[in-house]
Amino acid sequence: MSHDIRMRILDFLAPRSCVFCGVASVGEEKSICPGCYRDLPWNEPAVSPKPGIFHRSIAMSHYSFPVDAAIKAFKFGRKLYYAPAFTEILFASRNSLPRDIDAVLPVPLHWRRKAIRGFNQASEIAKPMAKLLNVPLVQGVHRRTATPFQSGLAAKDRVRNLRGAFEARLKISHAHVLIVDDVITTGATMRALAKVLLSSGVAKVSSLAIARAG
């Protein structure tokens, strides 16, 4: 069976549409139609000129409409059909990512919050990135405390909120880990996680987010 025929059968059985405008997908289109993809609030340049603790820091879009509304619906409304669209946005970073990344780490969610939410939003977007890069997910890194939500906190309070929040229960053998999350604001969460990785044997850490807020 040819690829075109398989696509037509899939479209008939489970019609696809753009998650942002609802227009029916055609041919090879996936979760975002070409018009919406072009009009997304892309962050240019996506690569931060001052990554600090990170070898490279990338945020693909600005945290503005429609990306902000989609992330909120995905994260707090369990609208998991947004995950493939976010994956498409993150995949656009492939040419900006360092070539020596050998593992991916979704920002861990405390088990209690994960039980309430039902999933870890960072894991849903990190797994496809790991598959794209053909690298494993980092194991053994956990969130020790269910810290208050970072949104609404000042930068210094975000840092204080995350002290001791993460731990690596095993020595990590990977040399360059890519941390993946949905939104980066001050970067406090990713920096706290990066410090744990670096103190656990990782040589380099990079970060990737769907959107940058603020």
Give DSSP secondary structure letters for 52-93: TTSS-EEEEEES-TTHHHHHHHHHHS--GGGHHHHHHHHHTT
Asked if residues 16 and 31 have their Cβ atoms less than 8 Å apart, the reply is yes
Q: Is the pLDDT of residue 27 over 70?
A: no
Span 31-45, average pLDDT: 95
- Residue 148 per-residue DSSP state: P
Q: Name the nearest CA neighbour of 109 among 192, 191, 166, 69.
A: 166
**Residues 128 and 146 occupy one common structural domain:** yes
> How far apart are the C-alpha atoms of 80 and 100, rounded to whole Å?
30
Residues 172 and 200 in one domain: yes
Q: Are residues 2 and 108 in the same domain?
A: no
How many structural domains compose the chain? 2
- Do both 3 and 51 map to the same domain? no
DSSP 110: -
Specify the CATH number for the domain of residue 158: 3.40.50
Q: Which two tokens stand for residue 17?
A: 């549409």
Say if CB 36 and CB 21 are below 8 A apart: yes
Say whether both 144 and 112 belong to one domain.
yes
Domain assignment of residue 55, given as a range? 41-212
Same domain, 96 and 107: yes
Same domain, 31 and 69: no
Burial 132-161 (b: 16+ CB within 10 A, else e): ebebebbeebebeeebeeeeebeeeebbeb
Same domain, 51 and 32: no
Tokens representing 109 are 């969610």
Give whichever of 25-29, 48-52, 57-61, 75-79 has the largest mean pLDDT. Answer: 57-61
Segment among 4-8, 20-24, 168-172, 190-194 with least mean pLDDT: 4-8
Q: Are residues 207 and 116 in the same domain?
A: yes
pTM of the predicted model as reported, rounded to 2 decimal places = 0.87
- Residue 12: pLDDT band with limits 50, 70, 90: very low
Question: Both 9 and 73 in a single domain?
Answer: no
Report in angstroms the alpha-carbon separations of 43 from 12, 92, 127, 177: 35, 12, 23, 22
**Residue-wise pLDDT tens digits, 97-131:** 999 999 999 999 988 889 989 999 999 999 999 99
Whether 49 and 142 share a structural domain: yes
Of 77-86, 118-127, 157-166, the one with minimum mean pLDDT is 157-166
What single-letter DSSP state applies at residue 166? E
Are 8 and 70 members of one domain?
A: no
Token pair for 194: 């990066």
> According to the model, what pLDDT value does residue 149 have?
55
